[in-house]
Amino acid sequence: MDMLEAVMVPPLKILRKYYHPETELYHLLVEHSKAVARKALKVADKVSHLHPDRKFLVEAAMLHDIGIFLTYLHQIGCRGEKPYVCHGYLGRELLENEGLPLHALVCERHVGAGITKEEIIEHCLPLPPRDMVPVTLEEKIICYADKFFSKNRDAIDREKTVAEIERELSRHGSGQVMRFFQWHKLFS
């Protein structure tokens, strides 16, 4: 068992409290989260001089999307009641209840390239009006790594190009693109 697999066991136990392991949504979530965790570890290697917490990166990457089941996005099997953009703060609430406040912040702050209070208000997003932008190194690494992978069933392991990520983020404002490229400069 490698480091990634060993560290994943406790997060998988938490995910199984909210997702039935035989469902397609669980499989999609776990495969996406593994891809994000692997990318986060590669980024951590590139910035090892900054001493990122590798164990935390894997744990938080595995849990960052825990709130998706509470949202609706039918193409991936989410049948909840809230818009998909809410999965970050909903995941935060779940992980705070699990006694994981730092992991919870990763959930809330990873959506898009983070979302500022101003962006929430300007775009009338159905989110609590507060800054939800990555602050710690580990939060930034996971948010950055997450942008490279979709939850598309047919391309779960395909890494997006920087140009594809830029196109997707640009639909949500220049602040999103600017934050991503700040991280890209630091992490590549």
Q: Write the pLDDT tens digit of every residue in 136-183.
A: 999 999 999 999 999 888 888 899 999 999 999 999 889 999 999 999
CA distance readout (Å), 177 to 112, 128, 133, 147, 170: 9, 22, 13, 11, 6
Q: What is the pTM of this model?
A: 0.95
Across residues 75-96, what is the average pLDDT? Answer: 96
d(C-alpha 52, C-alpha 38), whole Å:
14
Stronger pLDDT, 6 or 49, i.e. the higher one: 49
Is the pLDDT at 51 greater than 90, yes or no?
A: yes
